Amino acid sequence: MSLPQIREEHLKEIVKSDKYPDPFADIAVDVGIGLTSKPKMLNPKYFYDENGSRLFDEITRLPEYYPTRTETKILARESERLIAKYKPMAIFELGSGSATKTNMILKPMKKMGLLKEIGLLDFNEEFLIESVANFQNRYPGVRIRSVVGDFSKELLFDSFNHSPTLYLILGSTIGNMSFRESIKFLKRVAEKMHPSDYFLLGTDLIKDEKILYDAYNDSQGVTAEFNKNILKVINGKLGADFNLEYFAHEAIYNSSDNRIEMYLISNSDQKVFIKDLNLEIEIERGEKICTELSRKYDRQKVEAMLETAGMEIIEWMTDEDSLYALSLSKLI
């Protein structure tokens, strides 16, 4: 899908942030700090170049990876009821990715004659282009706004022209943030909301450790490839010389902190040179680079986050096995 395939009136709606014109603008600083820290770490947002986004989309369809499948089931069961009850006229999805699940909310909005505006914000420009092209065909006459950006730093949209607006972040993306980062993000969302607006949040729940382990250590090795992709991104963006064969994927569950921890483990003593930083780093055999933390929740934890940000839960929806939850909130 290319830009010329999107109707001209939508081209102006695919914009990049004036503050952060390139989602990878901070990669040099972030990588320099992360790889000189002890322990070494990398920001998981740098998984998501075009290749990484495609790999993650593939992960969401793996049999071991329950979050997407389970969230989709909850949306299929609840979307029409929620739309009929709360009657949103616009949606604003943060971290929209391929926006596959978004249609499950948009369809009943269109069916009930409510849908006026769609807003999308994501790190990956190619996915946004495809989503706009898809939505312009499915929902003619609906205003579509999409922005390439990092929602962990800013929310770029002005208030929508129609209310109620449904703000949403699916896929338990919030689990990749620390508690402090989550609160900052949720407060930014709350600042954008009007009293009549709503916020839909997807959260992965605390559960049996084997289910969690299998979800992040799939038998086909797609998650391992996805994990190593962050090194490819650094090689391409910063002129580094990481050899992906010198690293192994590891994902473990930390039961004390209720989170999956994902690492790249060096299988030899090695030195890596990062040209754009003029930096050489030494990595010992067995040393770990943390690439992602994925926090798991219960209702009490989700309520605490939202209340600290000025929101309260009005709907709590889970699957029959309590693997995953969607919560709908409004301003307190």
pLDDT digits (tens, 9 = 90+) for 317-326: 999 999 999 9
| Calpha distance 155→189 (Å, rounded) | 8
In this model, does residue 21 exceed pLDDT 90? no
Binned at pLDDT 50, 70 and 90, residue 236 comes out as very high
Prior bond of 21 cis (ω within 30°): no
- What is the average per-residue pLDDT within 178-185? 90
**Residue 7, pLDDT score:** 43
In this model, does residue 156 exceed pLDDT 80? no
Q: Where are the domains of the chain?
A: 3-14+64-206+297-331, 27-60+208-295
Computed over every residue of the chain, the mean pLDDT equals 89
- What is the average per-residue pLDDT within 144-152? 77
In this model, does residue 300 exceed pLDDT 60? yes
**Residue 219, pLDDT score:** 96
For residue 182, give the nearest of 216, 151, 140, 141 by alpha carbon: 151
**For the chain, how far is it from start to end, CA to CA, in angstroms?**
42
Give, in order, the Cα–Cα distances in Å from 243 to each of 43, 63, 203, 266, 283.
Answer: 19, 29, 35, 10, 12
| Calpha distance 132→9 (Å, rounded) | 11
Angle of helix 50-59 relative to helix 222-238, nearest 10 degrees, comes to 170
With 0-12 CB in 10 A as exposed, 13-18 as middle and 19+ as buried, what is 303?
A: middle
In this model, does residue 179 exceed pLDDT 70? yes
Hey, which residues does 40 pair with through a beta bridge? 289
What is the per-residue burial (b if ≥16 Cβ within 10 Å, else e) of 119-135?
Answer: bbbbbbbbbbbbbbbbb
| Calpha distance 304→302 (Å, rounded) | 5
**Residue 283, pLDDT score:** 97
3-14+64-206+297-331 belongs to CATH 2.40.30.20:
no
Q: Parallel, antiparallel, or unpaired for β 247-254 and 259-266?
A: antiparallel
Torsion of CA 175, 176, 182, 186, to 10 degrees: -80
Per-residue model confidence as pLDDT tens digits over 107-118: 999 999 999 999
List of residues 6+ apart from 113 with CB closer than 8 A: none
**How many other C-beta atoms are found inside a 10 Å radius of the C-beta of residue 246?**
17
In this model, does residue 161 exceed pLDDT 80? no
**Residue 125, pLDDT score:** 78
Distance of CA 110 to the CA centre of its chain: 25
In this model, does residue 1 exceed pLDDT 70? no
Radius of gyration of the chain measured on its C-alpha atoms? 20
Region of poorest pLDDT, from 69-73, 151-155, 173-177, 243-247? 151-155
Which position has the token pair 């969302």? 189
**Residue 81, pLDDT score:** 98
pTM listed for this prediction: 0.89
- What is the average per-residue pLDDT within 213-235? 97
In this model, does residue 12 exceed pLDDT 60? no
